[in-house]
């Protein structure tokens, strides 16, 4: 009797897009699918049931089934077993990329186009999915345990993996080339400020100012474009928060990893299938004020929650941290102004700018360079309102032409805040306070 491998090979069910040299891969995919169906029958359950089985037990069952395939070499059996385990309890074709710590972003642009970012540069990955259905199965496996859904009525979703990696998925009819998945990965160990100094993201003088600003409970906004390193820098900055403070974090998809003991993490909830039960970032910011927080950390402000965040900063919740998408410190404040208007409350522009000028103390700009490196390009201090304009003063900046960080030489207005808070700080010129 011919083996299952031989039967599958004879069926020639390979996708047309595969080159002849990849025929073995196509047969292996068919073999995996058939083995997965056999396992489900043996265990009396579906693929979802298999995902809940113990990995070592699954491995034993898979190896027992593969032992019947005499046409497979021991190495081929090992490869098929690993592939099948990854498909059932991992991320299928992407599992090898997830296991590679040097990869910071995984981008699936349809079943046959997978790209990665490594060292700040994009490149095509040597993996692919069989078809759209295999990508959809992966997306469902990611979002289902989180209570999220994705379908034609709700064709976009944000989620996260168990290791904290952030996932965004878009499916047809919005995605024209098939289901798209973007996975933003984070280091197993959050980068410390010393790590950022060593890799050139920030200078030691700038890092020392950031330490003093956090310790003195200044309200800080981290600004930057997509993939500029805002969340990484926020994680590093949060390490300066004292251990004896209660921190409440609020995010749309949890990815912050604060190291303190007393951290309450909250995550927004999208509406359910009936369109009810939604909990927004704004709801969480309002609720956090009733939780006796010493610090409020909002992963990113994108809409009307900016107003609630400003009000929290202005009503005794000093030391708050957040991020915003913008290309510079001035643009960051303009973005916050626009988001406050999205709250639906009819406020004159001057009143909004007064709120911003009194609430935000420091704007830190991060950016990704052409070579893929991330840098803190500006640290600017808010100096209040003059007329209808919020005044900003650069304290530190990065000169891309010379590749050097430089201090403006201005004494920060926060100098007195540092003194009153008992925070030791030495100006770049060597003048110390404390």
CA dihedral for 43, 45, 46, 50, sign (positive or negative): negative
Task: Tell me the pLDDT tens digit for each residue of 273-320.
Answer: 777 888 999 999 999 999 999 999 999 999 999 999 999 998 888 999
Which of 37-51, 170-184, 217-231 has the least mean pLDDT?
37-51
Q: What angle do CA 112, 88, 69 make, to 5 degrees?
A: 90
CATH class of residue range 95-184: alpha beta
Does residue 94 contact residue 127 with C-beta atoms inside 8 Å? Answer: yes
Which contiguous run of DSSP H or E holds residue 83? helix 74-89
3-class SS of residue 434: coil
Residue 5 scores a pLDDT above 50? no
Domain limits of the chain? Answer: 4-89, 95-184, 193-433
Sequence-distant (≥ 6) Cβ neighbours of residue 337 within 8 angstroms: 349, 352, 353, 356
Predicted confidence at residue 433, as pLDDT, reads 46
pLDDT value at position 78? 77
Q: Are 362 and 414 in contact (CB under 8 A)?
A: yes
Picking from 326, 327, 374, the residue whose alpha carbon sits closest to that of residue 120 is 374
* Percent of the chain clearing pLDDT 90 (strictly above): 52
Average pLDDT, the chain: 84
Mean pLDDT to the nearest integer, 336-362: 93
Question: What is the mean pLDDT of the segment spanning 399-410?
Answer: 90
pLDDT at residue 178, as a whole number: 92
* Percent of the chain's residues with pLDDT above 70: 84
Which pTM does this prediction carry?
0.78
Same CATH topology for 95-184 and 193-433? Answer: no
Q: What is the mean pLDDT of residues 19-47?
A: 56
The pLDDT value recorded for residue 152 is: 86
pLDDT of residue 37: 65
The 8-class DSSP code of residue 183 comes to: E
pLDDT at site 41:
62
> At residue 259, what are phi and psi to the nearest 5 degrees?
-95, -5
**Extended beta strands in 355-423, E state:** 362-368, 374-386, 389-399, 404-407
Residues with Cβ within 8 Å of residue 216, at least 6 apart in sequence: 414, 417, 418, 420, 421, 423
Residue 75 has pLDDT above 90, yes or no: no
Task: Return the top range by mean pLDDT from 11-25, 38-52, 82-96, 387-401.
Answer: 387-401
Residue 30, pLDDT score:
65
Which helix (H) or strand (E) covers residue 322, if one does? strand 321-325
pLDDT tier at 160, thresholds 50, 70, 90: confident
- Bridge-based pairing of strands 247-251 and 180-184 is unpaired
Mean pLDDT of 355-383: 94
Of the candidate ranges 30-39, 224-233, 279-288, 382-391, the one whose mean pLDDT is the lowest: 30-39
User: DSSP per residue over 102-167, as a string?
Assistant: TEEEEEEESTT-EEEEETTEEEE-S---SSHHHHHHHHHHHHGGGT---SSSS-EEEEE-TTS-EE
Distances (CA, A) of 176 to 20, 95, 138, 141: 27, 25, 18, 22
* 45 has a pLDDT exceeding 60: no
- Minimum mean pLDDT among 40-44, 64-68, 389-393: which range? 40-44
| Token digits of residue 191 | 């980068």
In this model, does residue 342 exceed pLDDT 70? yes
- pLDDT bin (cut points 50, 70, 90) of residue 32 is low
Q: Is the pLDDT of residue 424 over 60?
A: yes
Confidence of residue 14 (pLDDT cuts 50, 70, 90): very low
CA distance 425 to 407: 15
State the angle between helix axes of 4-11 and 23-43 in degrees (0 to 180), rounded to the nearest 10: 130
Q: Is the pLDDT of residue 23 over 50?
A: no
CA distance 219 to 297: 10
Residue 33 has pLDDT above 70, yes or no: no
Residue 336 token pair: 């916050």
| In contact, 275 and 250? CB cutoff 8 Å | no
Widest CA span in the chain: 89
Write down the pLDDT at residue 335: 96
Average pLDDT over every residue of 189-209: 93
CATH number at 193-433: 3.40.50.300
Q: Are strands 295-298 and 321-325 parallel, antiparallel or unpaired?
A: parallel
């Amino acid at each position: 009797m011919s083996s299952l491998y031989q039967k599958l090979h004879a069926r020639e069910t390979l996708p047309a897009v595969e080159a002849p040299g990849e025929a073995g891969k196509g047969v292996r995919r068919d073999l995996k699918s058939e083995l997965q169906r056999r396992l489900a029958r043996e265990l009396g359950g579906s693929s979802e049931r298999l995902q809940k089985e113990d990995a070592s037990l699954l491995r034993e069952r898979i190896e027992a089934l593969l032992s019947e395939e005499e046409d497979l070499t021991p190495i081929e059996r090992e490869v098929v077993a690993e592939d099948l385990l990854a498909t059932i309890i991992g991320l299928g074709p992407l599992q090898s990329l997830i296991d590679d710590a040097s990869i910071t972003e995984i981008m699936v642009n349809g079943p046959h186009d997978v790209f990665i970012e490594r060292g700040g540069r994009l490149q095509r990955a040597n993996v692919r999915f069989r078809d759209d259905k295999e990508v959809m199965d992966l997306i469902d496996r990611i979002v289902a345990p989180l209570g999220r859904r994705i379908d034609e009525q709700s064709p976009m979703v944000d989620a996260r993996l168990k290791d904290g990696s952030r996932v965004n998925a878009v499916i047809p009819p919005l995605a024209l080339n098939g289901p798209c998945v973007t996975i933003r990965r984070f280091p197993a160990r959050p980068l410390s400020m010393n790590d950022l100094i060593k890799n050139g993201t920030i200078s030691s003088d700038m890092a020392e100012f950031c330490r003093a600003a956090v310790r003195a409970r200044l309200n800080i906004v981290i600004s930057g474009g997509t993939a500029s390193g805002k969340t990484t820098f926020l994680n590093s900055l949060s390490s300066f928060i004292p251990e004896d403070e209660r921190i409440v974090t609020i995010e749309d998809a949890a990815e912050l990893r604060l190291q303190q003991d007393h951290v309450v993490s909250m995550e927004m909830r999208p509406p359910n299938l009936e369109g009810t039960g939604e909990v927004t970032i704004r709801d969480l910011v309002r609720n956090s004020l009733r939780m006796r927080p010493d610090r409020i950390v909002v992963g990113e402000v994108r809409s009307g929650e900016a107003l609630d965040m400003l009000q929290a900063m202005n009503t005794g919740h000093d030391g708050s941290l957040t991020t915003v998408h913008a290309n510079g410190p001035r643009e960051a404040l303009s973005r916050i102004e626009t988001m406050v208007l999205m709250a639906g409350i009819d406020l004159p522009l001057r009143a909004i700018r007064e709120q911003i000028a009194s609430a935000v103390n420091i704007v830190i700009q991060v950016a990704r360079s052409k070579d893929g490196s991330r840098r803190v390009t500006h640290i600017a201090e808010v100096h209040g309102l003059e007329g209808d304009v919020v005044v900003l003063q650069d304290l530190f900046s990065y000169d891309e032409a010379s590749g050097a960080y430089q201090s403006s030489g201005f004494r920060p207005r926060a100098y007195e805040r540092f003194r009153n808070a008992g925070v030791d700080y030495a100006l770049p010129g060597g003048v110390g306070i404390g």
